[in-house]
Amino acid sequence: MSPPGDAVHCASLPNEKPYDVSGPFDNAEAPPTLTVSQLNRRVRTLLESQFDFIWVEGEISNFVAPGSGHWYFSLKDGDAQVRCAMFRGRNQRLRFRPESGDAVRLRARVSLYEARGEFQLIAEHMEPAGAGALQLQFEKLKAKLLAEGLFDDARKQSLPDSVQHVGVVTSPTGAVIHDILTVLARRCPAIEVVLLPVAVQGEEAPAQIIRAIENANRWAQADKVALDALIVGRGGGSLEDLWAFNDEGVARAIAASALPIISAVGHEVDFSIADMVADYRAPTPSAAAELISPDMGDMLRELSAWRADLHRQMQRRLARLQTGLEYLRRRLRHPGALLREQAQRVDDLEQRLLRAQRHQLARRRGELAVLQARLAGRSPLAELGATRQARAALTARMAAAMQGRLQRSGARLAQLGARLEALDPTATLARGYAIVRDDSGKVLTDAATVATGARVTAQLARGELGLSVEEVRGETGAKAGG
């Protein structure tokens, strides 16, 4: 693409000899005689081959839009005008319809309409005349903030795992708040929405947007209003309409926000400075609402999005093919077999695209089935059943182990009881023996240690006897003592 103001270099066609301008009576070879059609064709070829795409600015006049969908008009300034054409495949991509009197910039090819020998421009792109200056201002601010690191992913915040309260900074009368409420009502009605009404275009819009963002952060920090995140946005429009979201003050307010911010400015193809600074960029306000709201049908919606994307690609491919076909049709002077062949090729490509679409859909359905099977295989029910069986087995093993341990302990206890009973001295007393102790309670085993007249105690099998020693006999039974 050549920027505005670039010089256009022209040169003669290759392999073309200059015509001889000598008189008819000179001996030099006379130049060939051309028909008007041949002359116009050569001039058109010369113009189209020697001029690159150029940018031209002027005022539209004599605008005509016939039923074919093509646009024909003149582009003029104070001193001159030039005829222009913009074919349907190109003008359908514009977001506005021009009228006579509009100031516009065209990106166009230089050509010649052979049938009337008219010099003309074939427009490929059109924009309002002021858009170029705004675009330059946009790029300068973008470069400045990029150098400061405001676009870095490292400084951007993550959304909370669960968003319960969301603030929406937008116009209270626009479609944005309606779209957000509609999506949240369908996906997660429990999310509470707090509207911070602002103007979204005009001179007052940037200051109102900055104030709304600052208020939301202040309220959240003071626990006056519960907020988990902010959505800042508006609907689509021209570069001028979206300019409030390319304001430096708005960009710095978004970067300074302690609340995570989702930017939802314009349509999917629109990009603003706010989109680049925000923690998240949503292509539309509805997409922003989907981003903050959970939905168990995400996989199905992703499949639907793939289908829609494939359909858009097919439509764009068909549009490009139709545009190419229209271009070839206008270049050909005698449409016939070649045109029919091109039409057949378009039909063949369309069938191939349809087959590719069906194949893609089948493949996506297969992937979805695999994911569903994997999800079912990871169900906690199977793991819970296995855990219950393992617990039952462990319980049975523990009961058996406890029973065995009790039995062994009982047998051991009985054995120790028998042994203890055998060693019990009281068992001997039952057979007529007695245990004799002195007055201090010491068991007497030697008669020689006891004096005559001493008091002793005899323990019987049942009860005790208090005795007085009248005589002491030794081991031989002889009397000892007095």
Whether residues 140 and 275 fall in one domain: yes
- Kindly tell me if the per-residue pLDDT of 245 is higher than 80: yes
Whether residues 360 and 279 fall in one domain: no
For residues 81 and 42, is the Cβ–Cβ distance under 8 A?
Answer: no
- Kindly tell me if the per-residue pLDDT of 203 is higher than 90: no
Whether residues 271 and 368 fall in one domain: no
Whether residues 239 and 152 fall in one domain: yes
CATH number at residue 115: 2.40.50.140
Residue 293 CA to residue 282 CA, distance in Å, equals 13
User: Does residue 424 belong to any structural domain of this protein?
Assistant: no
* Cα-based torsion angle of the residue sequence 37, 42, 47, 48 in order, rounded to the nearest 10 degrees: 90
User: Does residue 51 belong to any structural domain of this protein?
Assistant: yes
User: Does residue 309 belong to any structural domain of this protein?
Assistant: yes
Whether residues 161 and 96 fall in one domain: no
Whether residues 159 and 223 fall in one domain: yes
- Kindly tell me if the per-residue pLDDT of 462 is higher than 80: yes
Whether residues 144 and 276 fall in one domain: yes
Whether residues 91 and 225 fall in one domain: no
Residue 429 or 175, more confident: 175
Whether residues 109 and 230 fall in one domain: no
Q: For the chain, what is the domain count?
A: 4
- Kindly tell me if the per-residue pLDDT of 219 is higher than 90: yes
CATH number at residue 179: 3.40.50.261
Q: Indicate the range of 138-152, 187-201, 225-239, 321-335 predicted with least confidence.
A: 321-335
Whether residues 185 and 137 fall in one domain: yes
Burial string for 425-455 (b: 16+ CB within 10 Å, else e) reads: eeeeeeeeeeebebeeeeebeeeeebeeeee
User: Does residue 67 belong to any structural domain of this protein?
Assistant: yes
User: Does residue 223 belong to any structural domain of this protein?
Assistant: yes
User: Does residue 265 belong to any structural domain of this protein?
Assistant: yes
- Kindly tell me if the per-residue pLDDT of 377 is higher than 80: no
Please report, rounded to a whole number, the percentage of residues in the chain having pLDDT higher than 70. 87
Q: pLDDT class for 25, splitting at 50, 70, 90? A: very low
Domain termination residue (choose one: 93, 113, 129): 129
Instruction: Look up the domain containing 449 and give its range.
Output: 429-480
Note the pLDDT tens digit of each residue in 412-440: 988 888 888 777 777 777 777 888 888 88
Whether residues 75 and 154 fall in one domain: no
User: Does residue 394 belong to any structural domain of this protein?
Assistant: no
Residue 411 or 27, more confident: 411
Note the pLDDT tens digit of each residue in 43-96: 888 887 878 788 898 999 999 999 999 999 999 988 899 999 999 988 988 877
Q: What is the pLDDT of residue 13?
A: 33
pTM of the complete model beyond 0.75: no
* pLDDT average, residue stretch 224-246: 86
User: Does residue 393 belong to any structural domain of this protein?
Assistant: no
Q: What is the pLDDT of residue 479?
A: 44
Domain termination residue (choose one: 82, 113, 129): 129
Whether residues 278 and 176 fall in one domain: yes
Q: pLDDT class for 209, splitting at 50, 70, 90? A: very high
Domain termination residue (choose one: 78, 105, 129): 129
